[in-house]
Structure 1
Amino acid sequence: MNIRVVLADDQVLVRAGFRVLLETEDGFEVCGEAGNGTEAVAQALRHRPDIVVMDIRMPGVDGLEATRQITSNPELSGVKVLVLTTFDVDEYVYEALRAGASGFLLKDTEPVELLRALQVINAGEALLAPTVTRRLIAEFVGRPENRRVDSSAVREVTDREREVLALVAGGLSNDEIAAQLVISTATARTHVSRIMTKIGARDRAQLVVLAYESGLVTPRGK
């Protein structure tokens, strides 16, 4: 089954380039395009794609607000967001991840990396380069206004779950977590799901951000 994609970018040539790339590859389908955040949300509601490829900086309603609207809408719970940016350390990227985006890519990424990113996100994994993510989080997580995780939720996380969470934040997959902790992949997956429920994370990417914000995981050098 094809991965259905909506392309949201205010530059027509960028959208055209992405469309050509995806439509010449097996397994992908572009089902809609948007030039701003309002259109992106409308296209998501109309087509219910698997993924919205979202530029952050667009006129009117930007990609950040559009991401919030998509990820907070129960009708769009199956729609994932891949954020595009021209900067690898960008406060807007950080906010998009907090809002529920499943990952981010730089706009100058090689075409094959975009295809891989869509496959990774569609499979339910987070697209987070650990070094870049740590740098992003280290820059913004220390701000008092960024501490939004309920302390009572943090207390419910067990010691074992903290171990798992640290490995998730380090970029490990469920299989890699299972191997490191000598448990089954199913058990690792269960731990991750329980932690997400406890601290209110929409997906694995948001889980990593909340892990740092809550203090359950500390960025290196902090």
Structure 2
Amino acid sequence: MIEVLVADDQAAVRAGLVLILGAAPDVRVVGEAADGRRAVELARELRPDVVLMDVRMPVLDGIGATREIAGIADVLVLTTFDLDEYVFGALRAGAAGFLLKDVDADRLVEAVRTVAAGEGIIAPKVTRRLIGAFAGRPAAPPGAAGLEGLTPREREVFRCLGEGLSNGEIARRLDMAETTTKTHVSRILGKLGLRSRVQAAILAQETAAGGRGGPGGDLTPPGPG
């Protein structure tokens, strides 16, 4: 079972999310929080697999709560607002995913499963904006200095992360076991000082957009075939 903590300051919204998630046979809601501070407390106490996190909440907002929870559980941010400061703030804080509240029920449940499996997920509308923003940024992004420490195989995995590929897709493309892929992703995060595979994917996109390959080879995404 995937254990989920739901954090939203609106009781009606929380009830709806709990109802949607509770209908999935492999998901169990283990707690609810009406503010960010309570979400952090419950995350530490309950150790859920995924925290479904709103952004605008009292006491401690969702960004601050995500920053404290990211090392405890995977955080999937779900908000009405797709403002840039929320998107970038959530991803910098270590969120594993970012979805808008207009997502349908099936997509929401699948997103929870994806995040629980160690993957990252970002709403398509948000992804387009992220890529567009990175394309115009000349400065080296946080984590870029660690690229030279990646092995050739880790660089291949890193490129695949930038394309948004899942662990299974990376394993098939690079002809290796999925467990090996997970190990490579974990090592990449450690070497680059990142908190989630989403951050790694964004760094890969930004690095490619700026044409920065670093020592040892080009890091731009490979072309078809």
Runs of 5+ unmatched residues, structure 2: 212-225
Q: Greater CA deviation, 27-36 or 190-199?
A: 190-199
What is the aligned counterpart of 1:95 among 79, 85, 89? 89
What is the aligned counterpart of 1:125 among 119, 122, 135? 119
CA distance in 2, matches of 1:183, 1:134: 30
**Deviation digits for residues 128-186 of structure 1 (CA, Å, limit 9, x no counterpart):** 356732522532685688832262x1221244433321221111123322333444545
Query: Which residue number corresponds to residue 154 of structure 1?
Result: 147
Alignment pair present for 1:21 and 2:20: yes
**Deviation digits for residues 76-106 of structure 1 (CA, Å, limit 9, x no counterpart):** 2xx1110012244532122211211110111
Tell me the TM-score normalised to structure 1 length. Answer: 0.82
CA distance in 2, matches of 1:209, 1:107: 22
Query: Which residue number corresponds to residue 46 of structure 1?
Result: 45
Query: Which residue number corresponds to residue 103 of structure 2?
Result: 109
CA distance in 2, matches of 1:159, 1:4: 36
Output the amino acid matched with 1:71: A
Identity rate of aligned residues, in percent? 49
8 A contact 1:130–1:170 mirrored in 2? no
Tell me the TM-score normalised to structure 2 length. Answer: 0.81
What is the aligned counterpart of 1:163 among 156, 167, 174? 156
CA distance in 2, matches of 1:28, 1:126: 18
CA distance in 1, matches of 2:2, 2:114: 11
2:122 counterpart SS class: coil
Runs of 5+ unmatched residues, structure 1: none
Output the amino acid matched with 1:32: G
1:208 Cα deviation after fit: 1.5
1:61 Cα deviation after fit: 1.2
8 A contact 1:201–1:210 mirrored in 2? no
Query: What is the root-mean-square deviation of aligned Cα atoms in Å?
Result: 2.7
**Deviation digits for residues 34-55 of structure 1 (CA, Å, limit 9, x no counterpart):** 1111111111122111111000
2:78 counterpart SS class: strand
Output the amino acid matched with 2:150: V
Output the amino acid matched with 2:80: T
Output the amino acid matched with 1:52: V
CA 1:144 to 1:37, structure 2 compared with 1: closer, same or farther past 3 Å?
Answer: farther
- State the aligned residue count: 211
CA 1:87 to 1:136, structure 2 compared with 1: closer, same or farther past 3 Å?
Answer: farther
Q: Greater CA deviation, 3-12 or 136-145?
A: 136-145
